[in-house]
Amino acid sequence: MAHTLPPLPYDIDALEPHISRSTLEFHHGKHHQTYVNNLNALVKDTDLADQSLEQTIKAVAGDDAKLGVFNNAAQVWNHSFYWQCMKPAGGGEPSGALADRITADLGGFTAFVDAFKKAGATQFGSGWAWLVLDNGSLKVSKTLNADNPMVHGQLPLLTMDVWEHAYYLDYQNRRPDYITTFLDKLVNWDFVAANLAAA
């Protein structure tokens, strides 16, 4: 079962002017595709060849001999999830059960925004900022490189890519501006709420 590049859930220019068509052509069409290609090459003719992304990630997590498999599998999963976390005319504040949980677990939406911005801005080098469900409570976290919360017993609900290729063409070195725009203009709260409801 070869892994494939999932299509974007919106037109390639649908996130403009916040994320450009050019960024998505490189980020989705080249970076994400390369992770897919690398993963397929690494698992070909192995016992992982017919495993799902989630099964592969969990099977090789912590195995230094299979770090390449983990990195590429997790990056395929992380990116596929990230595209779903955004939508045209997104952002703003969530409502309903998700908003209630953010208030109960994180102290309110403003506190969430502060924590999420800090997680993204202080992730040294490449990585991801996350909203996760951890032992029944919402938590903001960050991971380095390809690391994924699922291997730490957490359920991902929302992610933001803070690798430079996610924002550099549009924001250069202004990662905080990208983070603010992600929250204000791009977050797909319906997707996040559905992830929480399905937990």
Q: What residues form the annotated binding site?
A: 27, 79, 161, 165
Where does the chain have alpha helices with state H? 21-26, 33-43, 53-60, 67-84, 96-106, 109-122, 168-171, 175-181, 189-197
Query: What pLDDT is recorded for position 107?
Result: 98
Where does 9-106 have alpha helices with state H? 21-26, 33-43, 53-60, 67-84, 96-106
Identify residue 31 by its one-letter amino acid code: H
Class at the top of the CATH hierarchy for domain 19-83: mainly alpha
DSSP state of 198: T
Domain ranges of the chain: 19-83, 94-196
Query: What pLDDT is recorded for position 118?
Result: 98
Q: Which two tokens stand for residue 140?
A: 């903001």
Q: What residues form the annotated binding site for Mn(2+)?
A: 27, 79, 161, 165
Low-confidence ranges of the chain (pLDDT < 50): none
CATH architecture of structural domain 94-196: 3-Layer(bab) Sandwich (3.55)
- What is the pTM (predicted TM-score) of this model? 0.97
Query: What pLDDT is recorded for position 1?
Result: 72
